[in-house]
Amino acid sequence: MTVTEAGRALAAGAGAPVSLGRAAQELALRRGDVDLAVHLGVIRAERLACGTRPRIRRAEIDRLRALPGFPESLRDQVRTAGTAEGASLLGVGTSRFTGLARIGCISPVAFCLNRYRTVVWLYLVDELLAFAAREPHLIAGKSPAGMRTMLEAGTDRRARNWRSRRVDRLLNRTEDPWRRAALHATALDPVQLAEVVDDPYERAYLARMAPDSAFGRPASVSGREAMARLILADDPDEILWRRVNLTLELEQARETRSAPRPGCDPVLRPFEAGSVRPLPEERVQDVPVPDGHSSASRGPGRAARGPAVRPGAGRGLLVRIGLRGHGRRAR
Protein backbone atom coordinates (compact mmCIF):
# COMPACT_ATOMS: atom_id res chain seq x y z
CA MET A 1 0.00 0.00 0.00
CA THR A 2 1.39 3.40 -0.98
CA VAL A 3 1.55 6.36 1.39
CA THR A 4 -1.36 8.00 -0.47
CA GLU A 5 -3.51 4.87 -0.24
CA ALA A 6 -2.73 4.49 3.44
CA GLY A 7 -3.69 8.12 4.04
CA ARG A 8 -6.98 7.66 2.24
CA ALA A 9 -7.76 4.50 4.21
CA LEU A 10 -6.98 6.30 7.47
CA ALA A 11 -9.21 9.24 6.51
CA ALA A 12 -12.03 6.91 5.55
CA GLY A 13 -11.82 5.10 8.86
CA ALA A 14 -11.48 8.28 10.90
CA GLY A 15 -14.24 10.56 9.75
CA ALA A 16 -15.40 10.19 6.17
CA PRO A 17 -19.15 9.57 5.80
CA VAL A 18 -20.08 5.94 5.19
CA SER A 19 -22.85 4.38 3.14
CA LEU A 20 -26.11 3.27 4.70
CA GLY A 21 -25.14 -0.36 4.15
CA ARG A 22 -21.87 0.10 6.05
CA ALA A 23 -23.70 2.01 8.79
CA ALA A 24 -26.21 -0.84 9.14
CA GLN A 25 -23.36 -3.27 9.84
CA GLU A 26 -21.73 -1.02 12.42
CA LEU A 27 -25.04 -0.23 14.16
CA ALA A 28 -26.18 -3.87 14.19
CA LEU A 29 -29.36 -2.98 12.29
CA ARG A 30 -31.04 -4.39 9.23
CA ARG A 31 -30.67 -2.24 6.14
CA GLY A 32 -34.40 -1.55 6.06
CA ASP A 33 -34.27 -0.37 9.68
CA VAL A 34 -31.47 2.07 8.85
CA ASP A 35 -33.49 3.44 5.94
CA LEU A 36 -36.47 3.97 8.21
CA ALA A 37 -34.34 5.48 10.99
CA VAL A 38 -32.83 7.99 8.58
CA HIS A 39 -36.23 9.00 7.28
CA LEU A 40 -37.65 9.39 10.78
CA GLY A 41 -34.66 11.43 11.91
CA VAL A 42 -33.47 8.86 14.44
CA ILE A 43 -30.20 8.68 12.50
CA ARG A 44 -28.82 11.91 11.08
CA ALA A 45 -27.63 11.51 7.50
CA GLU A 46 -26.43 13.91 4.84
CA ARG A 47 -26.11 14.10 1.09
CA LEU A 48 -22.70 15.11 -0.23
CA ALA A 49 -24.19 16.25 -3.54
CA CYS A 50 -27.59 16.64 -5.15
CA GLY A 51 -28.97 13.32 -6.32
CA THR A 52 -26.57 11.19 -4.30
CA ARG A 53 -27.54 8.62 -1.70
CA PRO A 54 -27.49 9.67 1.98
CA ARG A 55 -24.33 8.95 3.94
CA ILE A 56 -23.66 8.93 7.67
CA ARG A 57 -20.73 10.56 9.40
CA ARG A 58 -18.48 8.62 11.71
CA ALA A 59 -19.34 10.98 14.58
CA GLU A 60 -23.03 10.09 14.22
CA ILE A 61 -22.27 6.37 14.31
CA ASP A 62 -20.15 6.87 17.42
CA ARG A 63 -22.97 8.88 19.04
CA LEU A 64 -25.48 6.12 18.40
CA ARG A 65 -23.16 3.38 19.60
CA ALA A 66 -22.66 5.30 22.86
CA LEU A 67 -26.40 5.41 23.63
CA PRO A 68 -27.49 3.50 26.77
CA GLY A 69 -28.71 0.02 25.90
CA PHE A 70 -27.21 0.01 22.39
CA PRO A 71 -28.09 -1.71 20.10
CA GLU A 72 -31.48 -2.77 21.50
CA SER A 73 -32.44 0.80 22.41
CA LEU A 74 -31.81 1.87 18.82
CA ARG A 75 -33.68 -1.09 17.37
CA ASP A 76 -36.71 -0.37 19.56
CA GLN A 77 -37.06 3.11 18.04
CA VAL A 78 -37.57 1.69 14.54
CA ARG A 79 -39.24 -1.59 15.38
CA THR A 80 -42.32 -2.13 13.22
CA ALA A 81 -45.15 -4.64 13.26
CA GLY A 82 -47.60 -5.85 10.66
CA THR A 83 -51.27 -6.54 11.28
CA ALA A 84 -50.87 -9.91 13.00
CA GLU A 85 -48.05 -8.82 15.33
CA GLY A 86 -49.70 -5.47 15.97
CA ALA A 87 -52.98 -7.13 16.93
CA SER A 88 -51.09 -9.42 19.29
CA LEU A 89 -49.36 -6.45 20.94
CA LEU A 90 -52.70 -4.72 21.51
CA GLY A 91 -54.44 -7.92 22.58
CA VAL A 92 -57.14 -7.69 19.92
CA GLY A 93 -58.11 -9.71 16.87
CA THR A 94 -56.70 -8.88 13.45
CA SER A 95 -60.09 -7.64 12.20
CA ARG A 96 -60.33 -5.18 15.13
CA PHE A 97 -56.77 -4.02 14.51
CA THR A 98 -57.43 -3.53 10.80
CA GLY A 99 -60.60 -1.61 11.62
CA LEU A 100 -58.70 0.75 13.92
CA ALA A 101 -56.15 1.36 11.17
CA ARG A 102 -58.77 1.89 8.49
CA ILE A 103 -60.56 4.64 10.41
CA GLY A 104 -57.26 6.35 11.25
CA CYS A 105 -56.83 5.56 14.95
CA ILE A 106 -53.41 4.10 14.16
CA SER A 107 -51.42 5.10 11.11
CA PRO A 108 -48.85 3.10 9.13
CA VAL A 109 -45.29 4.32 9.09
CA ALA A 110 -44.15 2.14 6.20
CA PHE A 111 -45.18 -0.63 3.85
CA CYS A 112 -43.62 -3.61 2.16
CA LEU A 113 -44.75 -6.07 -0.48
CA ASN A 114 -45.36 -9.70 0.39
CA ARG A 115 -44.58 -12.60 -1.94
CA TYR A 116 -47.91 -12.05 -3.69
CA ARG A 117 -46.93 -8.42 -4.33
CA THR A 118 -49.68 -7.22 -2.02
CA VAL A 119 -49.11 -4.12 0.09
CA VAL A 120 -48.52 -4.93 3.76
CA TRP A 121 -48.78 -1.92 6.08
CA LEU A 122 -46.28 -1.59 8.94
CA TYR A 123 -46.74 0.32 12.19
CA LEU A 124 -44.24 1.62 14.73
CA VAL A 125 -44.45 -0.58 17.82
CA ASP A 126 -43.87 2.41 20.12
CA GLU A 127 -46.89 4.16 18.60
CA LEU A 128 -49.09 1.09 18.97
CA LEU A 129 -48.23 0.74 22.65
CA ALA A 130 -48.80 4.47 23.22
CA PHE A 131 -52.20 4.23 21.52
CA ALA A 132 -53.22 1.27 23.69
CA ALA A 133 -52.33 3.21 26.83
CA ARG A 134 -54.07 6.36 25.62
CA GLU A 135 -57.28 4.83 24.23
CA PRO A 136 -58.04 1.65 26.22
CA HIS A 137 -61.78 1.97 25.49
CA LEU A 138 -61.07 1.36 21.79
CA ILE A 139 -59.09 -1.78 22.56
CA ALA A 140 -61.48 -3.70 24.80
CA GLY A 141 -65.21 -4.28 24.53
CA LYS A 142 -67.62 -3.69 21.69
CA SER A 143 -66.58 -1.45 18.82
CA PRO A 144 -68.03 2.07 19.13
CA ALA A 145 -71.02 2.82 16.90
CA GLY A 146 -69.11 5.52 15.05
CA MET A 147 -66.34 3.09 14.20
CA ARG A 148 -68.82 0.53 12.89
CA THR A 149 -70.56 3.17 10.77
CA MET A 150 -67.30 4.29 9.18
CA LEU A 151 -66.22 0.73 8.41
CA GLU A 152 -69.61 -0.14 6.91
CA ALA A 153 -69.24 2.92 4.65
CA GLY A 154 -65.92 1.51 3.36
CA THR A 155 -63.62 4.02 5.07
CA ASP A 156 -59.93 3.23 4.67
CA ARG A 157 -57.48 5.98 5.61
CA ARG A 158 -54.31 3.91 5.75
CA ALA A 159 -52.80 5.08 2.46
CA ARG A 160 -53.98 8.64 3.02
CA ASN A 161 -52.42 8.79 6.49
CA TRP A 162 -49.19 7.24 5.21
CA ARG A 163 -48.98 9.93 2.51
CA SER A 164 -49.76 12.68 4.99
CA ARG A 165 -47.11 11.55 7.46
CA ARG A 166 -44.50 11.17 4.74
CA VAL A 167 -45.12 14.64 3.30
CA ASP A 168 -45.23 16.23 6.77
CA ARG A 169 -41.87 14.73 7.68
CA LEU A 170 -40.23 15.94 4.48
CA LEU A 171 -41.83 19.41 4.73
CA ASN A 172 -40.34 19.80 8.19
CA ARG A 173 -36.88 19.23 6.71
CA THR A 174 -36.84 22.08 4.21
CA GLU A 175 -37.64 25.77 4.01
CA ASP A 176 -36.99 26.01 0.27
CA PRO A 177 -40.36 26.94 -1.32
CA TRP A 178 -39.67 25.06 -4.56
CA ARG A 179 -38.87 21.88 -2.66
CA ARG A 180 -41.96 22.35 -0.50
CA ALA A 181 -44.09 22.86 -3.59
CA ALA A 182 -42.54 19.75 -5.15
CA LEU A 183 -43.61 17.68 -2.15
CA HIS A 184 -47.24 18.63 -2.66
CA ALA A 185 -46.88 18.08 -6.41
CA THR A 186 -45.80 14.46 -5.93
CA ALA A 187 -49.27 13.64 -4.57
CA LEU A 188 -51.03 14.83 -7.75
CA ASP A 189 -51.33 12.91 -10.99
CA PRO A 190 -50.08 14.59 -14.21
CA VAL A 191 -53.51 15.89 -15.18
CA GLN A 192 -54.18 17.42 -11.76
CA LEU A 193 -50.68 18.89 -11.70
CA ALA A 194 -51.05 20.47 -15.14
CA GLU A 195 -54.31 22.12 -14.06
CA VAL A 196 -52.53 23.82 -11.15
CA VAL A 197 -49.15 24.46 -12.81
CA ASP A 198 -49.68 25.33 -16.45
CA ASP A 199 -46.00 26.17 -17.15
CA PRO A 200 -44.25 22.99 -18.41
CA TYR A 201 -40.84 24.27 -17.27
CA GLU A 202 -42.14 24.80 -13.74
CA ARG A 203 -43.53 21.26 -13.76
CA ALA A 204 -40.16 19.96 -14.91
CA TYR A 205 -38.44 21.90 -12.15
CA LEU A 206 -40.85 20.55 -9.55
CA ALA A 207 -40.10 17.01 -10.74
CA ARG A 208 -36.38 17.65 -10.35
CA MET A 209 -36.79 19.20 -6.90
CA ALA A 210 -38.87 16.31 -5.54
CA PRO A 211 -36.94 14.19 -3.03
CA ASP A 212 -36.55 10.45 -3.10
CA SER A 213 -39.84 8.98 -1.96
CA ALA A 214 -38.30 5.84 -0.59
CA PHE A 215 -35.05 4.32 0.44
CA GLY A 216 -33.83 0.83 -0.10
CA ARG A 217 -32.38 -1.38 -2.77
CA PRO A 218 -33.36 -1.11 -6.45
CA ALA A 219 -37.00 -1.94 -6.83
CA SER A 220 -38.82 -4.54 -8.79
CA VAL A 221 -41.34 -3.39 -11.36
CA SER A 222 -44.18 -4.35 -9.04
CA GLY A 223 -42.56 -2.39 -6.21
CA ARG A 224 -42.30 0.76 -8.30
CA GLU A 225 -45.90 0.31 -9.41
CA ALA A 226 -47.02 0.00 -5.79
CA MET A 227 -45.19 3.19 -4.80
CA ALA A 228 -46.54 5.07 -7.81
CA ARG A 229 -50.06 3.99 -6.91
CA LEU A 230 -49.86 4.77 -3.20
CA ILE A 231 -48.09 8.10 -3.50
CA LEU A 232 -50.98 9.77 -5.37
CA ALA A 233 -53.88 11.35 -3.50
CA ASP A 234 -57.11 9.55 -4.36
CA ASP A 235 -59.73 11.22 -2.15
CA PRO A 236 -61.45 14.42 -3.40
CA ASP A 237 -60.78 16.29 -0.14
CA GLU A 238 -57.14 15.20 -0.10
CA ILE A 239 -56.67 16.17 -3.74
CA LEU A 240 -58.16 19.61 -3.07
CA TRP A 241 -55.91 20.04 -0.03
CA ARG A 242 -52.81 19.26 -2.08
CA ARG A 243 -53.86 21.57 -4.89
CA VAL A 244 -54.41 24.45 -2.49
CA ASN A 245 -51.09 23.90 -0.72
CA LEU A 246 -49.23 23.52 -4.01
CA THR A 247 -50.72 26.79 -5.28
CA LEU A 248 -49.72 28.71 -2.17
CA GLU A 249 -46.22 27.25 -1.98
CA LEU A 250 -45.70 27.86 -5.70
CA GLU A 251 -46.67 31.48 -5.25
CA GLN A 252 -43.95 31.89 -2.65
CA ALA A 253 -41.48 29.95 -4.79
CA ARG A 254 -41.96 32.26 -7.76
CA GLU A 255 -41.21 35.25 -5.56
CA THR A 256 -37.98 33.58 -4.44
CA ARG A 257 -36.67 32.58 -7.87
CA SER A 258 -37.97 31.57 -11.26
CA ALA A 259 -37.89 28.04 -12.58
CA PRO A 260 -34.85 27.60 -14.88
CA ARG A 261 -35.35 27.54 -18.63
CA PRO A 262 -33.43 25.46 -21.16
CA GLY A 263 -31.31 28.47 -22.09
CA CYS A 264 -30.09 28.71 -18.50
CA ASP A 265 -30.13 25.01 -17.66
CA PRO A 266 -29.54 22.70 -20.65
CA VAL A 267 -30.55 19.65 -18.60
CA LEU A 268 -34.08 21.00 -18.13
CA ARG A 269 -36.71 20.03 -20.66
CA PRO A 270 -40.41 20.94 -20.72
CA PHE A 271 -42.78 18.47 -19.11
CA GLU A 272 -45.79 18.00 -21.35
CA ALA A 273 -49.26 17.94 -19.83
CA GLY A 274 -50.83 14.51 -19.89
CA SER A 275 -47.54 12.63 -20.05
CA VAL A 276 -46.48 10.27 -17.28
CA ARG A 277 -44.57 12.27 -14.71
CA PRO A 278 -41.33 10.47 -13.82
CA LEU A 279 -40.96 9.70 -10.14
CA PRO A 280 -37.67 10.34 -8.37
CA GLU A 281 -35.48 7.33 -7.71
CA GLU A 282 -38.19 5.20 -6.09
CA ARG A 283 -36.78 2.09 -4.50
CA VAL A 284 -39.23 -0.47 -3.19
CA GLN A 285 -38.60 -4.12 -2.57
CA ASP A 286 -39.56 -6.48 0.22
CA VAL A 287 -38.20 -4.01 2.76
CA PRO A 288 -40.10 -1.31 4.64
CA VAL A 289 -40.70 1.90 2.70
CA PRO A 290 -40.59 4.74 5.22
CA ASP A 291 -42.87 7.73 5.38
CA GLY A 292 -42.73 10.83 7.47
CA HIS A 293 -43.30 11.15 11.19
CA SER A 294 -46.16 13.37 12.30
CA SER A 295 -49.55 13.13 13.89
CA ALA A 296 -52.28 11.86 11.62
CA SER A 297 -54.70 14.10 13.45
CA ARG A 298 -53.27 17.12 11.69
CA GLY A 299 -55.28 16.45 8.57
CA PRO A 300 -53.90 15.52 5.19
CA GLY A 301 -50.50 17.02 4.55
CA ARG A 302 -50.56 19.70 7.25
CA ALA A 303 -47.03 20.53 8.33
CA ALA A 304 -45.74 22.45 11.30
CA ARG A 305 -45.05 25.34 8.98
CA GLY A 306 -47.75 25.96 6.41
CA PRO A 307 -48.25 28.73 3.88
CA ALA A 308 -50.63 31.40 5.09
CA VAL A 309 -53.62 32.44 2.99
CA ARG A 310 -53.66 36.19 2.44
CA PRO A 311 -56.91 38.10 2.99
CA GLY A 312 -58.94 38.39 -0.17
CA ALA A 313 -57.01 35.65 -1.95
CA GLY A 314 -59.84 33.13 -2.01
CA ARG A 315 -61.36 34.01 -5.39
CA GLY A 316 -58.01 34.10 -7.17
CA LEU A 317 -56.92 30.91 -5.44
CA LEU A 318 -59.89 28.96 -6.83
CA VAL A 319 -59.02 30.19 -10.32
CA ARG A 320 -55.36 29.19 -9.95
CA ILE A 321 -56.10 25.68 -8.76
CA GLY A 322 -58.60 25.18 -11.56
CA LEU A 323 -61.78 24.90 -9.49
CA ARG A 324 -63.60 28.06 -10.56
CA GLY A 325 -67.15 27.23 -11.57
CA HIS A 326 -66.96 23.66 -10.26
CA GLY A 327 -69.19 24.42 -7.29
CA ARG A 328 -66.50 23.27 -4.84
CA ARG A 329 -65.08 25.16 -1.91
CA ALA A 330 -61.61 24.84 -0.43
CA ARG A 331 -61.89 23.93 3.20
pLDDT tens, position by position, 71-101:
999 999 999 999 999 999 999 999 999 999 9
Cα–Cα distance for residue pair 96/219, rounded to 1 Å: 32
Question: What percent of the chain is modeled with pLDDT above 70?
Answer: 71
Residues comprising the chain, all counted: 331
Q: Is a pLDDT exceeding 50 seen at residue 300?
A: no
Highest mean pLDDT out of 77-91, 205-219, 225-239, 293-307? 77-91
Q: Is a pLDDT exceeding 70 seen at residue 293?
A: no
* Runs of H (alpha helix) within 30-157: 31-40, 58-65, 72-77, 83-90, 94-102, 125-134, 145-152
Q: Is a pLDDT exceeding 80 seen at residue 64?
A: yes
Closest residue by Cα to residue 121 from 296, 254, 238: 296
Closest residue by Cα to residue 76 from 20, 133, 121, 37: 37
Closest residue by Cα to residue 299 from 241, 240, 231: 241
pLDDT of res. 308: 42
Q: Is 241 exposed, middle or buried (0-12, 13-18, 19+ CB in 10 A)?
A: buried
Q: Is a pLDDT exceeding 70 seen at residue 281?
A: no
Cα–Cα distance for residue pair 268/266, rounded to 1 Å: 5
Cβ atoms of residues 187 and 235 within 8 Å:
no
Q: What is the pLDDT of residues 50-60, one digit of tens each?
A: 667 789 999 99
pLDDT of res. 8: 45
